[in-house]
């Protein structure tokens, strides 16, 4: 690994890091020699994930229980990470929840809407607020927020999730301008349909149709958590310091497709070759 691809000497905090995109990100950062703190509502799962990462990579990793909606919990978790790692250089605001049920605006429970904002928006704010002073002191920081294609395009029956992810885009741009001359960059990744365990379950339950959403993407398939993780890891690198305020889709081209009905040819019949790229990674 070249020095330009390494996170050696950098300490990374990943919220919602015990599974899915969060865990793939924590593992990828560790493979690039970063030290990692996994924050998750399920503290036991976070500690188990950290142990797996250390076993797989030899990197320093710890798991911490944290409710990103609660300021005291966030402040305590960041303080624990600092005590164990020394400081915070990289923050990945990944913690989030899925839309509990698809509903038109008139039928959506106010509590469901508020939960979306509380976890995604308040959580991103509180975690950033707690980590930024350490980044400013170090004159180095990388904040990567997890948005969504639903924050970029209009999709019905998901107003809470769409509102939350759109707000994250605004937070990203505002913080990027505010922190740019303090050595801190702030960017967002907007994933499309990604084969996390949660979405695999929804596919199995018939709540989502793989073919329908794969066809929407010009590449003709869903993405893997590892593909999102590699984009996040790139933004965390010291050599990515000229990129800030960007909202980068990792979506197979969903957000750029104009005529969704145009025939683009046959879709891939397997993702084995893509998965193999990451399975080969030590």
- DSSP three-state, residue 40: strand
Longest dimension (CA), the chain: 55
- Calculate the alpha carbon distances from 170 to 162, 186, 245, 249 in Å: 13, 11, 9, 15
Q: Is residue 114 a contact partner of residue 69, using CB atoms and an 8 Å limit?
A: no
CB atoms within 10 A of CB 153: 15
Which residues, at least 6 apart from 203, have a Cβ–Cβ distance to it below 8 Å?
209, 210
Q: Which of 140, 161, 193, 210 is catalytic?
A: 161
- Calculate the alpha carbon distances from 187 to 20, 146, 149, 174, 194 in Å: 20, 9, 15, 10, 19
Beta bridge partners of 35: 11
Active site residue 193: no
Beta bridge partners of 65: 40
Using CA atoms, how far apart are residues 56 and 27, in angstroms rounded to an integer?
9
Task: Please give the positions annotated as active site.
Answer: 161
């Amino acid at each position: 690994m070249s020095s330009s691809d390494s996170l050696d000497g950098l300490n990374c905090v990943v919220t919602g890091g015990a599974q899915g995109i969060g865990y793939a990100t924590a593992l990828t950062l560790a493979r690039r020699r970063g030290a990692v703190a996994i924050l998750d509502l399920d503290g036991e799962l976070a500690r188990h994930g950290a142990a797996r990462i250390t076993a797989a990579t030899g990197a320093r990793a710890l798991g911490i229980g944290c409710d990103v909606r609660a300021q005291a919990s966030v402040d305590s978790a960041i303080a624990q990470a600092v005590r164990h790692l020394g400081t915070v250089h990289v923050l990945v605001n990944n913690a989030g929840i899925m839309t509990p049920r698809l509903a038109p605006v008139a039928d959506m429970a106010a509590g469901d809407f508020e939960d979306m904002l509380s976890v995604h928006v308040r959580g991103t704010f509180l975690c950033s607020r707690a980590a930024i002073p350490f980044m400013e002191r170090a004159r180095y920081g990388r904040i990567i927020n997890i948005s969504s294609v639903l924050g970029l395009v209009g999709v019905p029956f998901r107003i809470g999730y769409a509102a939350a992810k759109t707000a994250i885009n605004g937070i990203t741009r505002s913080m990027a301008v505010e922190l740019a001359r303090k050595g801190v960059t702030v960017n967002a990744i907007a994933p499309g349909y990604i084969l996390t365990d949660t979405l695999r379950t929804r596919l199995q339950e018939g709540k989502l149709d793989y073919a329908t959403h794969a066809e929407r993407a010009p590449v003709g398939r869903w993405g893997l958590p590892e593909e999102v993780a590699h984009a996040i890891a790139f933004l965390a690198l010291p050599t990515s310091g000229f990129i800030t305020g960007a909202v980068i889709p990792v979506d197979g081209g969903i957000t750029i497709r104009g005529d969704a009905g145009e025939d683009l040819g046959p879709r891939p019949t397997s993702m084995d070759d893509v998965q193999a790229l990451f399975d080969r990674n030590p």
